[in-house]
Amino acid sequence: MMSAAVLFLGAGCLHSTSFAQPSQDPVPSEVSSLKNVYVSSRLGVMIHLADGVSNQLQEEGNKITAPQDPNFAGQYIQVFHKEETQSVERAIEDLLRNQGKDPGNCRIVAGAVEPNGNQEYTVELAESLTYTSSQMEDIAAADREVDVHGGFEDGAYIKKRFYNEVLIDRCSFYADPLGLGTSKSIPSRFVMNSSKTDTTYVFLPGSADPTFYGYGQIEFIAK
């Protein structure tokens, strides 16, 4: 597999995060003998697709999309590769740095372990957020609105939305663990399985709709 390295110089150390070298043309789907399974030996992943999804996916650089199905327009997963000795937390920090963000404002949090053993990671603010008086007024107004007219966008929801706006601003679009950045119901997260690979990890963007892959259905394969 061809790969390219992005180097970052900070705090007196040289960091590197590598990713699949984008090709000039989309890569056609690989044929799998398994039903509802897509395999990319180039990127080192196998995807168990959601029910009814065609396995005619497409690779563009280090992204995998489902362009032939309008129900999944704009969806993708993004595959990254790092050095064996680099932790996934440090690799994700390098991604944030590459987006022009200061990783010191953010923290990488290990979350749930999926049924297949994949460890989830999310990006959160390093310090708690202090809300402005104007934001606190909006939060209180949302509670009053829900008390009178009902609904789900109460003060707690608005408070989380303010948090997420700051989070994305400080830590890039890779950070959206609350799933509220664009009214997403599925939060953004990274996944890796250290029992299967020392170098490959995947970014799964948040989505308001069902995704073309099932939950916990990204597998890492030997390259």
Reported confidence tier of residue 152, pLDDT bands at 50, 70, 90 = confident
Query: Which structure tokens are listed for 4?
Result: 């390219």
Contact of 158 with 134, CB cutoff 8 Å: no
- Report the Cα–Cα distance between both ends of the chain, in Å, rounded: 8
pLDDT at 31 over 60: no
CA triplet 95, 64, 124: central angle to 5 degrees?
Answer: 35
Reported confidence tier of residue 65, pLDDT bands at 50, 70, 90 = very high
Query: In 10 A of CB 9, how many CB atoms?
Result: 9
pLDDT at 101 over 90: yes
Instruction: Provide mean pLDDT across the span 36-62.
Output: 89
DSSP string covering 58-83, please? Answer: EEETTEEE-TT-GGGTT-EEEEEEE-
pLDDT at 41 over 80: yes
Contact of 161 with 212, CB cutoff 8 Å: no
Domain extent for 53: 3-220
What is the share, in percent, of the chain residues with pLDDT greater than 90?
Answer: 53
- How confident is the prediction for the chain on average, in pLDDT? 82
Residue among 74, 100, 111 nearest 173 (CA): 100
Residue 100 one-letter amino acid:
G
**How many domains does the structure of the chain reveal?**
1
Cα diameter, the chain: 59
Q: Does pTM surpass 0.95?
A: no
What is d(CA 169, CA 180) in angstroms, rounded to the nearest whole number? 13
HSE-up (13 A, CA, CB side) for residue 94:
22
Beta bridge partners of 192: 119
pLDDT at 61 over 90: yes
Reported confidence tier of residue 177, pLDDT bands at 50, 70, 90 = low
Q: Which residue has the higher pLDDT, 2 or 191?
A: 191
Sheet with 213-220: strands ordered across: 37-40, 45-49, 213-220
